[in-house]
Amino acid sequence: MTSSTTFKPGVKDVASFLSEYSVMLFGSGATCIRMEKNMHRIARSQGMEAEFSILPRHIHLTVGDGSDTVTSVVAIRDMPISFAKIALLSKLSWQMADCRYDFRQAVKVLAKIGSTPGTPPWRLLLLVSLANASFCRLFGGDAMAMAVVFVATFAGFLVKQVLTDRHVDFRLTAVACSFISAVIASSDALFSLGATPEIAVGTSVLYLVPGIPFINSFCDMIDRHYLCSFGRMMNAVVISCCLSLGLCAGMLLMNLGMF
Amino acid sequence: MLVEFLQDALFAAIAAIGFSAISNPPRRAYLFCAVIAAVGHSVRFLLMDCAGWHIVPASASASLLIGVLAVLISPKTRIPAETYLYPSLLPMIPGIYAYRTFGALVMCLYRGTEDSFLHYFYLFAQNGMTCFFILLAMVVGATLPMFLLPKISFQATRQKTNS
């Protein structure tokens, strides 16, 4: 679908496009190896070369066509992880490489990908609560522990959705949500509802564990992107510490021993 | 035994669907996430409960299988392998070990006597090391196929030519 009057972008245009593209791809949870491959593919489709490095809060990008070089530094934005966006952004890079889109079409598609809707909040709430209850079962929890974990996750995740909508700091959100979930899950032990209260409390906060940043961090480490790997790892560790803090506070409030 | 095995697969599938929803995957990915997670978790269950393997090598082997399945399915559905890989791994995350590690650390700080400190420090180290090595084994096992088969992994979203 190559346009007959194909627009030839300048180095600045491509640098600006790749800046937005890289921020969106990184924010959606792509690994460094995927970012590298996609961005090189896009730059080469425009007859240029691109190199980038990912710093903890910025992406540093240089684009050149042999005669002209442009360097840009763009701030990383916090956005929800979205594999649907990663799939669409990767597809866009191939569409450009295979000359199915010209540059102007690609810019429009990129803007459209940015507004891709996520999973509807109520569906997400229900699915996550069910998932965490299943998790409890996988760790050996009984039916009562599963029910308690379902309710604890439902309440905690609901609060998470509300606080995230109000742009409350994600660390405070993690503390608040794990505290609420731990307090509710403590009811299994306090009222002797089931035989596995320890598992109920332990799994009630697991929906907050930043699993994907942890896995991405290891992936980047294998690919020798140590700086980015460390940045992602630190983010994940900070969230884990916050959820542990909330869990601990909840258990102390309910006068529940750890062992 | 068979009931436990099937239960394990079913709950792993539900957990994968729920946790994949957090990462907003394309709709058509849910079914595959559930199937891959169920297969992976069941394999780990068999290796641990029937073959008597330790949780670390069992997790590594199950993750390797998950990685291979994710990479092989991704070009057929034109969705990056990570979309299947990560949610399918999440049911195997050693959450309870992490919880016990943290619990033991808190108890180390609270209990002043040497004996109880050593006891909780032992629990902290044992659970912490198990948790770390399970995570490492899982990630290395699962991502290995992606790095070994880059042509399949990173061309999954490419549209086929109509010629």
pLDDT in tens, B94-109: 878 888 888 888 888 8
- In chain A, residues with a C-beta closer than 8 Å to the C-beta of B91 are 134-135, 138
How high is the pLDDT of residue B163? 41
* Exposed e or buried b per residue across B145-154, where buried means at least 16 C-beta atoms within 10 angstroms of its C-beta: bbeebeeebb
Residue A28 has pLDDT above 90, yes or no: yes
Is A2 inside a domain boundary? no
Is A6 inside a domain boundary? no
3-state secondary structure of A115: coil
The alpha carbons of chain A give a radius of gyration, in whole angstroms, of 22
- In chain B, residues with a C-beta closer than 8 Å to the C-beta of A85 are 24
Residues A132-148 have pLDDT tens digits of 999 999 988 999 999 99
Range of the domain at A40: 11-114
Give the domain ranges of chain B.
2-153
Q: How many CB atoms lie under 10 A from the CB of residue A182? A: 27
Residue B20 has pLDDT above 50, yes or no: yes
**Computed from CA positions of residues A214, B83, A178, B10, in that sequence, does the dihedral angle turn out positive or negative?**
negative
Token pair of A203 as six digits:
């799994």
**Whether A132 and A235 share a structural domain:** yes
Which is more confident, A235 or B158? A235
Task: Compare all CA atoms of chain A with the CA of B77 and give the residue at the minimum distance.
Answer: A87
Partner B contacted by A2 (CB < 8 A): no
- In chain A, residues with a C-beta closer than 8 Å to the C-beta of B83 are 83, 86-87
Q: Hey, are the CB atoms on A218 and B136 less than 8 Å from each other?
A: yes
DSSP A208: G
Partner B contacted by A40 (CB < 8 A): no
Q: How many CB atoms lie under 10 A from the CB of residue B126? A: 14
Over residues A228-257, mean pLDDT: 89
**Whether A110 and A128 share a structural domain:** no
**Whether A45 and A104 share a structural domain:** yes
CB-based contact B20:B29 (threshold 8 Å): yes
CA distance B133 to B125: 12
Nearest CB to B11; choose among A37, A134, A222: A134
**Whether A50 and A139 share a structural domain:** no
- In chain B, residues with a C-beta closer than 8 Å to the C-beta of A211 are 19, 86, 89-90, 93
Is A47 inside a domain boundary? yes
CA A212 to chain centre: 7
DSSP A47: T
**Whether A139 and A43 share a structural domain:** no
**Whether A102 and A215 share a structural domain:** no
**Burial class of residue A123 in the structure, from the number of CB atoms within 10 Å of its CB (0-12 exposed, 13-18 middle, 19+ buried):** exposed
**Whether A101 and A152 share a structural domain:** no
Q: Hey, are the CB atoms on A219 and B17 less than 8 Å from each other?
A: no
Over residues B46-61, mean pLDDT: 93
What is the domain count for chain A? Answer: 2
**Whether A209 and A140 share a structural domain:** yes
**Whether A75 and A160 share a structural domain:** no
- Structural domain ending residue among the three candidates A114, A141, A176: A114
Which residues of chain A from 60 to 79 reach within 8 Å of chain B, CB to CB?
A: none
CA distance B8 to A187: 26
Q: What mean pLDDT is reported for chain B?
A: 88
- In chain A, residues with a C-beta closer than 8 Å to the C-beta of B143 are 215, 218-219, 222
CA B60 to chain centre: 9
**Whether A89 and A182 share a structural domain:** no
**Whether A107 and A137 share a structural domain:** no
Which residues of chain A from 6 to 35 reach within 8 Å of chain B, CB to CB?
A: 29-31, 33-34
Is A78 inside a domain boundary? yes
Is A151 inside a domain boundary? yes
